[in-house]
Chains A and B, each alone.
Chain A
Amino acid sequence: MTDLLAVENLSVQFGERAVVRGVNFTMGRERVGVVGESGAGKSMLGRAIMGLLPPGASMSGRVAIGGVPFTPDMRGGKSALVLQDPRYSLNPAMRVGDQIAEVLRLHLALSAREARREAIARLESVRIRDPALVYERYPHQLSGGMGQRAMIAMMLAPNPALLIADEPTSALDASVAGGVLALLDDEVTRRGMGILLISHDLDLVANFCDRVLVMKDGEIVEALAARDLGAAQHPYTRQLLAARLRLDA
C-alpha cells in the first residue's frame, strides 16, 4: 500500500544552521504525534512538508503524499496545515465565517447560501458558542482559543486526506479540547484522514495518537507506539515524561 505521507531525508536550514536534520518517516491513515523540546524543529518540519517555510529557510529532501511528490496545488484537498499561531494565519481583513465559506465553495462546489449555512455548522462543530454571531467577527475579535478553533474548522472544510496540526488545542480548556479532539478522531475513523499532531502535551498524545515521534535538535530521536510511551528508552523522552505536571502529582 502507498503511504499517505512519506518524508525522506528532510532537512531545513537557516543559512548555515540546520534546524531539521535528515528526518525520515512514513505514515498512513492514522494519528501520529510529534513531541519534543521547544525549538526542536517541530513546526519547521510541519511547514516543510507543506512547502510553507518562512523566508530565509532552505529545504532539501523528498516529501510525497499518496506516493506523488508534493506540489503546492495539493494544499487544501490533499493536505492542510493548522499553524501554531492561528490568529496570524487567518486573513485579518475578512470575516471569519466568510473565510470558511469561501473554502467550502471552492472545494465542495456549494452555493453562497449553502456555504454560509455549512460554515456556521462547521464553527459549531468545533464547539463555538453562538456560531452565527462569531461568523461575522474578524480574527482580532476572537479569543485565543476561538481563533484556534476557527482555523481548524477552516482547514477541515475541504476534507483533506492529511491534516498537519501544530499545537491545535494549546489554547483550549480541557472540555472544549476534548470536543475538538473527538471531531478530529471522527475524521480519522469516518473518512480515513491521516493526522500529524504536533503537541507538547504528552498525555494528550499518548491518548489520542497511534504512534509518537520524539524530536530533539532537529532529529527524530525515538519513534514508538503511543501505548509504549511510558516505556520509552531515549533519555530525552524519559526526561520529558518525568517533567510532566499533573494535578495529583
Chain B
Amino acid sequence: MIEARGITARHGDNVVVRDVSFDVADGESFGIVGESGSGKSTLLRVIAGLHRDWSGELSVAGKKQDRDRPHDFGRVVSMVFQDPYGSLHPRQTVGRALAEPLIVQGIRYDAARIDAALRDVGLDASHRARYPHQLSGGQRQRVAIARALMLEPRLLLLDEPTSALDASVQADILALLRRVRQARGMSFVLVSHSLAIVEALCERAAVMQQGSFVEEVSAGDLRRGNLHNSYARELFAASRGFRRAF
C-alpha cells in the first residue's frame, strides 16, 4: 500500500523528517510513536499530499506519487487530523462536513447515510445541524473520524485519532476501526502517543525521534518492551510511569 524510500521533509530551513523509509503492505496497519515535535504529523501530511516540501520516493496504492496528487486520490486515501478543530470548516454543519467528501467525488447520498455515519461514532442525528464549535473536543474528534471513513478509503492516515476520548468511547472507536478495516481490507498508518493503542491496532510500528525512525518493531515486541534503541526504551518506560496498580 505504501512504499516510502528516503523521505526527507522540510519546513523552511528546518529538516523535520530525515531519510525515512518504510513499507506498509495491503491490509496492514503500521504505527508511528515518538517524541512530540519529532515530525510524525509532517510525515503523514507528506503521504497525504498536503505537505509539498519533501524529497525521496513514495508510492501509494501501487502508484508513484509526485508533489501533486490526482483528483481521485481522495477516494484512495483519507486522513484524520491531529487537530479536528483545524480540519473541520467552522461554517459547515456536521451534516455538511460528512457529506462533503461524497459531494466532491460526485457520489449520491441521503440523510440516512449521514446519520448512520454519526451513529457509528456514538453520535446521533441531533448533532447533524451543529457547527464544530458547538461540540465538545471528543465529539469533534469523532466527527473527523466519521468523515474520513465516508469514502471507504483503502488507506486511512490517523493522527492521534482518539486523544480526546474517554476510555469507554475510545474502546468503541477502536472497535469500529478494527471492524471497518477487516470488512474493507483497509490499511492504516496510525500516529499515537499511546503505545497501547498502537499495539491494539497495528502489526508493526516505528519509533520516531528528531525526524528519524530510530527503531522498527513488531506489535509483540512493543508489548513486551523488547526494544533496543535507548530512546525507544525510555518511551516504553515512561508510558508505564503513570501506572499504579489498582
B6 contacts the other chain (Cβ, under 8 Å)? no
Contacting pair A201 B240 (CB below 8 A): no
Most buried by B among A145, A172, A249: A145
A175-202 vs B: 1/0 string, CB under 8 Å? 1111001000000000000000000111
A11 contacts the other chain (Cβ, under 8 Å)? no
The segment from B47-55, B103-111, B130-138, B147-155 found at the interface with A is B130-138
B164 contacts the other chain (Cβ, under 8 Å)? yes
CA distance A145 to B166 in the complex (A): 19
B82 contacts the other chain (Cβ, under 8 Å)? yes
The segment from A36-44, A68-76, A101-109 found at the interface with B is A36-44
B68 contacts the other chain (Cβ, under 8 Å)? no
Set B36, B134, B170: member contacting A145, Cβ < 8 A: B36
Chain A residues near B142 (CB, 8 Å)?
Answer: 38
Contacting pair A43 B137 (CB below 8 A): yes
B224-246 vs A: 1/0 string, CB under 8 Å? 00000000001100111111101
Set B11, B160, B196, B234: member contacting A245, Cβ < 8 A: B196
Contact flag A248-B223 (CB < 8 Å), given A39-B138, A178-B238: yes
Most buried by A among B170, B193, B222, B243: B193
Contacting pair B164 A167 (CB below 8 A): yes
CA distance A110 to B223 in the complex (A): 49
B188-203 vs A: 1/0 string, CB under 8 Å? 0000011111011000
A203 contacts the other chain (Cβ, under 8 Å)? yes
Sorting the interface of chain B by its residue count into under 10, 10 to 19, 20 to 34 or 35 or more gives 35 or more
Sorting the interface of chain A by its residue count into under 10, 10 to 19, 20 to 34 or 35 or more gives 35 or more
A246 contacts the other chain (Cβ, under 8 Å)? yes
Contacting pair A129 B235 (CB below 8 A): no
How distant is B146 from chain A, measured CB to nearest CB, in Å?
Answer: 14
How distant is A244 from chain B, measured CB to nearest CB, in Å?
Answer: 5
Contacting pair A178 B82 (CB below 8 A): no
Contacting pair B36 A176 (CB below 8 A): yes
The segment from A59-67, A112-120, A156-164, A204-212 found at the interface with B is A204-212
B4 contacts the other chain (Cβ, under 8 Å)? no
B169 contacts the other chain (Cβ, under 8 Å)? yes
Contact flag A174-B241 (CB < 8 Å), given A38-B138, A143-B41: yes
CA distance A14 to B127 in the complex (A): 14
Contact flag A203-B85 (CB < 8 Å), given A84-B164, A172-B36, A248-B223: no
CA distance A245 to B160 in the complex (A): 15
Chain B residues near A42 (CB, 8 Å)?
Answer: 136
CA distance A172 to B222 in the complex (A): 19
A247 contacts the other chain (Cβ, under 8 Å)? yes
Most buried by A among B11, B33, B134, B194: B194
**Residues of A72-88 contacting chain B, CB below 8 A:** 84-85, 87-88
Chain B residues near A16 (CB, 8 Å)?
Answer: none
* CB-CB nearest in chain B for A202: B167
* CB-CB nearest in chain B for A42: B136
Most buried by B among A37, A87, A146: A37
A122 contacts the other chain (Cβ, under 8 Å)? no
Contacting pair B238 A175 (CB below 8 A): yes
Contacting pair B168 A149 (CB below 8 A): no
Chain B residues near A244 (CB, 8 Å)?
Answer: 167
How distant is B115 from chain A, measured CB to nearest CB, in Å?
Answer: 18
CA distance A149 to B86 in the complex (A): 18
Chain A residues near B241 (CB, 8 Å)?
Answer: 174, 178
Q: A42-B136, A167-B164, A243-B171 are in contact. List 9 more A-B contacts (CB 8 A).
A: A38-B142, A39-B139, A170-B164, A171-B193, A172-B193, A200-B138, A229-B246, A243-B166, A245-B200
- State the B residues within 8 Å of A (CB): 11, 33-37, 41, 82-83, 85-86, 133-139, 142, 160, 163-171, 174, 193-197, 199-200, 210, 222-223, 234-235, 238-244, 246
- State the A residues within 8 Å of B (CB): 14, 35-39, 42-43, 54, 56, 84-85, 87-88, 128-129, 141-146, 149, 167, 170-178, 181, 200-204, 206-208, 227, 229-231, 239-241, 243-249
Ranked 7 nearest A-B pairs via Cβ: A230-B246, A38-B138, A145-B36, A174-B239, A174-B238, A175-B238, A243-B167
